[in-house]
Structure 1
């Protein structure tokens, strides 16, 4: 559960610390993390992201969603900017794009975030959100708008 060697600090700290300690501890204890996130790399995480069927942070009894588990794994791996851009360009996989967008919002500088994420506002596909009450629907452009404007998305406090 450690960050990759030689990883850069993001916003002045370990990148994993962008996810709160309580949620991070629950992710490390979750079955999805132990079974599916072990030994993932920037290439193999794509296969896991393609199989996602919802975004979200935690649901019933504070169980972390696979989406938030993969977000933490990306924070550990710190893929290069070119790889993240390829994730965003894969239009047929909307949950992979959402994962990359959240990672970019968490780790990039504010000017880069707006330049990269604003063009994604033209994507109007539906996304499922998993939350403690079950599932609900949103749209991809609304998710991007939330990333740009809200303080908390998917149970993660976003950097200012």
Structure 2
């Protein structure tokens, strides 16, 4: 009874949700001590506490033992929480392993267009994750994990349902074009550079006009001062111009 899917659960991709995990791995999960001790009566609310306690993600390790992450994934498939609850899992920024658990569940159960729309924003999350596999522990990142979910056929030893190519969904009008963060950043930089160049050109034109007006004013002042200096340095000419002819005749006599 503890291993059966909740009553009223919807079929996913035409089959029982738990059947998305291969039979061999599913049976090993049922036999694991973590499943029997901690996953027996979990609900959509109580499973959060177990996901927060996760220290690693992965599929099977050692002697084909399932990780706690994989056990919680099967429990989600068994209880089939509502879509709104899954999105709340995904938006819990402070709990990265809960986010990774919800991302894998969404990849396995959501339609193709919704998978891209829901998971692509996580490609900007660069936090570290610890992955456990047959070789031990390796370091990965949330954006790398999500990229594998969107491109690989098998993740955490689980064969993922077929995901249509993004270009096909765009051609069919089911999905809008993806917005590149790099292209947006480049366009923003180009706009800033054009604004800066425009302000600099306007500044240069203003400075040139200011220099021209200043030079013209200085030339006027120089010409005026030069004329006054010329008159003051010619006392004889100025005196001869100011004396009348009658006075000159008196002086000669």
The TM tier, using the shorter chain, reads over 0.9
Larger radius of gyration: 2
User: Within 5 Å, which residues of 2 pair with 1:34-113?
Assistant: 34-113=36-115
Q: Deviations over 1:67-89 (max 9, x none)?
A: 00000000001100100010011
Q: Distance in 1 between matches of 2:12 and 2:90?
A: 21
Q: Out of 115, 129, 132, which is 1:130 matched to?
A: 132
Could you list the structure 1 runs, at least 4 aligned residues long, displaced by more than 6 angstroms after superposition: none
How far did 1:14 drift?
A: 0.2
Greater helix content: 2
Segments of structure 1 that go 5 or more residues without pairing to the other structure are: none
Q: Distance in 2 between matches of 1:26 and 1:87?
A: 26
Q: Out of 133, 146, 149, which is 1:147 matched to?
A: 149
Q: Deviations over 1:103-137 (max 9, x none)?
A: 00000000000000000111000000001111000
Segments of structure 2 that go 5 or more residues without pairing to the other structure are: 163-253
Q: Out of 127, 144, 158, which is 1:156 matched to?
A: 158
The aligned counterpart of 2:118 is 116
Q: Distance in 2 between matches of 1:19 and 1:26?
A: 11
How far did 1:145 drift?
A: 0.1
The aligned counterpart of 1:19 is 21
SS where residue 35 of structure 1 aligns? Answer: helix
The aligned counterpart of 2:234 is none
SS where residue 130 of structure 2 aligns? Answer: strand
Q: Distance in 2 between matches of 1:93 and 1:64?
A: 21
SS where residue 94 of structure 2 aligns? Answer: coil
How large is the Cα RMSD of the aligned pairs?
A: 0.4
SS where residue 10 of structure 1 aligns? Answer: coil
SS where residue 18 of structure 2 aligns? Answer: helix
Q: Distance in 1 between matches of 2:31 and 2:157?
A: 17
SS where residue 137 of structure 1 aligns? Answer: strand
Q: Deviations over 1:120-159 (max 9, x none)?
A: 1110000000011110000100000000000000000000
- TM-score w.r.t. the length of structure 2 is 0.63
